[in-house]
Structure 1
Amino acid sequence: MARPRSTPRLFGLGGWAEARRVAAILRQETIGGALLLGAALLGMIWANTPWSGGYEALRDYQLGPEALHLDLTVGTWAADGLLAIFFFVAGLELKREFVAGDLREPRRAAVPVAAAAGGVVVPALLYLLIAGGDAARGWAVPTATDIAFALAVLAVVGRHLPSALRTFMLTLAVVDDLIAIAIIAIFYTAGLAVLPLLGALVPLTAFALLVRRQVRSWWLLLPLAAATWVLVHESGVHATVAGVLLAFTVPARSGLAEHFEHRFRPISAGVAVPVFAFLTAGVTIGGLDGLADALSDPLAVGVVAGLVVGKVVGITAATWLAARFTKATLDEGLGWADVAGLGMLGGIGFTVSLLIGELAFGHGTDRLEVVTVAVLTGSVASALLAAVVLRARNRVYRRLRAAEEVDEDRDGVPDAYQS
């Protein structure tokens, strides 16, 4: 007699190694998120002091070889150069998840991918419905999730949440970044120069051949990565795409991807993203009246609504639809309040939202200042709402764990992960 097929479970336990890896990433991102927030506050405070001219002079100072069209401002170097490191790490994480992680199984990967897609479509539609008109080109601003900031909040308020939820949030944020970089490459490329783009394939291919041979020598790999970045930048495609392309060439199963991630994550979280936030968040608000004027703009209302409302609705609805059509149920002990809390966490746009805002409306424009105020407001509001919901759920899971004796075998692996 055939055994009845088990009901599919959403957010079921994955592997123990994967759970440990996610926990380690959360610990690292707590520090990175704090640095990110501190840098953004410092930039905003400086830009609203009598010494704001110094901030603007630093941000707009040009440096770099003019012959290579790289005489860029410091702010542009941060957006195009430093964020390429951020997307390199995100690309490594994404490839590892889908090649060697728990999400290599299509059934397990489908839910966070669907949730990320819902978290892009609904905020974009809500933004267009509210802002529209000449602001329509900023439709992608509220679609992004800031992986560093979101994971930092989750690490602080969700220490006792089930590891499956944390893995889900990490994967959702990484897939969200991939969608964002695709949006940037397709919709925010003003003009495409084919020859430099084809030329980028030469150093990219050489980089791929070396990493597949397990070469780790920086003096060989770094010049090839830099050449790829320069040529992608010259092609008109946003240079951060080079970071993702380079990451995708690194083998995920050989340990090299983990090695690069270990080396570059501290640079990304501790330097690249905070510096970008510092140089981007410095907008002149003009006191409470100026803040009120900025937030009453339909563009700002669309961004805030997209982040605070659109994200949680899109992520939660897409997850529910995935459960509905696969006839899956939430894993035992989990509730839809957990999913809604993660959806709120997805509304922390910040880094990538600010980048898309700059691409959509141009550096130093009045519209970009409105976008920046809206992104900061929406991200902070989403973080606070998520903290309230997830902290309440965290207390529930902490009591459950305290009531149950957690058994561990001599190898230190909980029994729940043994099957």
Structure 2
Amino acid sequence: MRPTLLERLRSESGSALLLVAVTVFALLWANSPFSRLYHELWETHMEVTVGSWGLNLSLHHWVNDGLMVIFFFVVGLEVRQEFAVGSLRDRRRALVPLVAGVLGVGVPALIYLSIAGGEAPAGWGAVVGTDTAFLLGALVLVGPAMSNQLRIFLLTLTVVDDFLAVSIIGVFYTEQVRIWPLVIAVFALVALFLLGRTRQWRSSPYVALVIVLWLATLESGIHPSIAGMVAGLMVPAFATHRGVVDSVAHLFRDFRQSPEADAARTASRGLARSISVNERLHAALRGPSSLVIVPLFALANAGVDLRGDTLGQAATSTVTWGVVAGLVIGKLAGISLGTWLAMRMGLGKLPDGVGPGSIMGGAALSGIGFTVSLLVIGLAFTDQQHSNAATVGVLLAMVLAWLLGWIIFWVARVRFGETSADLPVTLTPAVNEDYDHIFGSPDAEATVVEYFDYECPFCSRTTGIGQDLYQHFGDRVRFVARHVPIADRHPNAERAAVVAEAAARQGQFWDMHKQLFDHQDHLDESVYRRLAQEIGLDMDQFESDLADPELPKWVAKHARSAHESGVRGTPTFFLNGSRHLGAHDARTIIAELEAQMNTQSEQPLRRRS
């Protein structure tokens, strides 16, 4: 099925192309016979009044000081998620992009000041930020075909970048502060913090406090972008636990048995409580932010009138070239240097599958500033000539950074063989009867390999994915189980894998496999022996096999195969030898297997025709 237009726009490449289209449209409109209408539109005022209090802003300010707060709120939510359950949770893994992000902010600012500091020093903040939407979209279009690991690295880097950029806006581009609104803003932040500590699951109290915080920050004179970012950081994020998911399943069973309004409301609340309010708000706002708010911001801010001598003045202005050099050269140099320094200092290493050429290509694409750059320009310059010159510099830098990134990725691919910036996707080694535990017919049309550990809360045996696949396909599919104990999170998984291998020596791997998953919350030595007795193992042989040092080596061999195959968590599935990407629910895997089977069945017909 071909994706719809909306689905294409929601993709990273689609959102980037949408921004390009809106930016070009804004430029054409501002330089057309209807340019007066463009400027009059954004200067139109809209007022909201409640009693004696009122807020009267131009449409331009409603976008920049209102809607963009939602954009930065989404950024703050992402940062909190990364710290709680994402790449920033592992501090060592985050140190390399952290150092790269800091230098990716500092070096561009120094380059700008060295070029344009004498003419317009206030514009240095225009070169510190990276437009995440443009960056990820450009990566899809000009980067390696497989680049998920590079994408994670760049996302971590932009988290640092965005946080520093918004802090700079709040600290350095605030002219006058009013105390009482600021006090109210502080109280709103404290209330957000306390609300998070109470584990409040409803989103409406958070939204209400964010609105109060926005209004108070706006009245205080501080740019409200920092309020959006800090508010997002206050909204709690956590990983979903299997016990909560199981309780929700019971609620839906109640609704299925008694489809009444009260049961539906209870099930709906249970479903909402199983997912963190951070993740739910992020899912609700991410689409409107990328498809509506940021394009509106581009439409309101990218319309520079280039007629007359505007381009000539921009071409001779140090502001223009300070912005271009800061974004294009500064981002490339700062991020590349920061990555190299962090590695030399032993703070970390490059992500698996990512080479130095790909890092430099991503650093070059980080020179696409756009959103934060245009926002700072509107705050930094009251002089229209400097504002136009800086905006021209941002637009020129966007084109040059895109082109430079494409060149670097091309050189990395052709000269250094960096055809991918991702983990391997091919099963290594291939399925082998002497190596693997196989369930199903050797003549099956498809093979599903699962890497798992026995304390994995969402592996197929725990969630029923395996049963669903077997019920749907029957003998058309065979199943293979491989160990990958996640020792830092699941302390009993490695020992349980050894127990399963000991049972395998008596031909009862799958019986023990089932029992270990059924008792995964209570694994210990007494449980292992009780389960061995229940499935009828020879206990003397079982004890002897448990003491055999070859079994831990065998489990370690499985773990090495997982690493070589690109497995970094459980469960990970391989469908006919290729790592499955995306959601791993039974419905999705069934659809993928059906598509592969249909393709295989069509190939002989094509050859005969």
Could you tell me the TM-score, scaled by structure 2's length? 0.60
1:319 counterpart residue number:
339
Counterparts of 1:27 and 1:393, CA distance in 2: 29
Question: Which of these residues, 449, 452, 458, is aligned with residue 410 of structure 1?
Answer: 449
Aligned residue type for 2:12: E
Question: Which of these residues, 374, 384, 390, is aligned with residue 371 of structure 1?
Answer: 390
1:389 counterpart residue number:
408
1:301 counterpart residue number:
321
Question: Which of these residues, 247, 253, 256, is aligned with residue 277 of structure 2?
Answer: 256
Question: Which of these residues, 47, 56, 59, is aligned with residue 64 of structure 1?
Answer: 47
Counterparts of 1:261 and 1:399, CA distance in 2: 29
Counterparts of 2:376 and 2:312, CA distance in 1: 23
Does 183-192 or 406-415 show the bigger shift? 406-415
Question: Which of these residues, 289, 296, 311, is aligned with residue 275 of structure 1?
Answer: 296
User: Aligned in 2, Cα 1:274/1:147: closer, same or farther, shift over 3 Å?
Assistant: same
Contact 1:250-1:257 at 8 Å conserved across structures: yes
Is 1:216–2:236 an aligned residue pair?
no
Q: Which has the higher contact order (CA 8 A, sep 6+)?
A: 1
Question: Which of these residues, 157, 174, 179, is aligned with residue 142 of structure 2?
Answer: 157
User: 1:229, CA displacement in angstroms?
Assistant: 0.4
Matches within 5 A, 1:284-363: 284-286=305-307, 290-326=310-346, 330=350, 334-362=354-382
Matched position secondary structure for 1:71 = strand
1:32 counterpart residue number:
15
Is 1:237–2:237 an aligned residue pair?
no
Matches within 5 A, 1:173-252: 173-210=158-195, 212-218=198-204, 220-252=205-237
Does 49-58 or 405-414 show the bigger shift? 405-414
Counterparts of 1:209 and 1:328, CA distance in 2: 35
Contact 1:147-1:174 at 8 Å conserved across structures: no
User: 1:327, CA displacement in angstroms?
Assistant: 7.0
Aligned residue type for 2:108: P
Matches within 5 A, 1:104-115: 104-115=89-100
Counterparts of 2:421 and 2:366, CA distance in 1: 26
Counterparts of 1:60 and 1:257, CA distance in 2: 35
Q: Which of the two has higher C-alpha Rg?
A: 2
User: 1:367, CA displacement in angstroms?
Assistant: 1.4
Could you tell me the TM-score, scaled by structure 1's length? 0.86
Unaligned 5+ runs, structure 1: 1-23
User: Aligned in 2, Cα 1:304/1:248: closer, same or farther, shift over 3 Å?
Assistant: same
User: 1:242, CA displacement in angstroms?
Assistant: 1.6
Aligned residue type for 1:366: Q
Matched position secondary structure for 1:284 = coil
Deviations 1:107-154 (A, max 9, x none): 111111111111111111111111112400111111110111111111
Counterparts of 1:376 and 1:275, CA distance in 2: 16
Counterparts of 1:168 and 1:200, CA distance in 2: 34
Question: Which of these residues, 71, 79, 103, is aligned with residue 86 of structure 1?
Answer: 71
Aligned residue type for 2:45: Q
Contact 2:354-2:421 at 8 Å conserved across structures: no
1:15 counterpart residue number:
none
Matched position secondary structure for 1:49 = coil
User: 1:191, CA displacement in angstroms?
Assistant: 1.0
Counterparts of 2:143 and 2:180, CA distance in 1: 48
Is 1:143–2:128 an aligned residue pair?
yes
Matched position secondary structure for 1:349 = coil
Counterparts of 1:411 and 1:299, CA distance in 2: 56
Task: Give the share of equivalent positions with the same residue, in percent.
Answer: 39
Does 68-77 or 106-115 show the bigger shift? 68-77
User: 1:259, CA displacement in angstroms?
Assistant: 1.2
Please give the root-mean-square deviation of Cα atoms over the aligned residues, in Å. 2.8
Aligned residue type for 1:47: A
User: Aligned in 2, Cα 1:68/1:155: closer, same or farther, shift over 3 Å?
Assistant: farther
Contact 1:29-1:269 at 8 Å conserved across structures: no
Matched position secondary structure for 1:285 = coil
Does 192-201 or 208-217 show the bigger shift? 208-217
Counterparts of 1:321 and 1:398, CA distance in 2: 25
Counterparts of 1:162 and 1:274, CA distance in 2: 26
Does 160-169 or 238-247 show the bigger shift? 160-169
Counterparts of 1:400 and 1:262, CA distance in 2: 27
| Structure with more helix by fraction | 1
Matched position secondary structure for 2:62 = helix
Does 387-396 or 373-382 show the bigger shift? 387-396
Counterparts of 1:379 and 1:138, CA distance in 2: 17
Matched position secondary structure for 1:279 = helix
User: 1:345, CA displacement in angstroms?
Assistant: 1.0
1:75 counterpart residue number:
60
Question: Which of these residues, 114, 120, 132, is aligned with residue 117 of structure 2?
Answer: 132
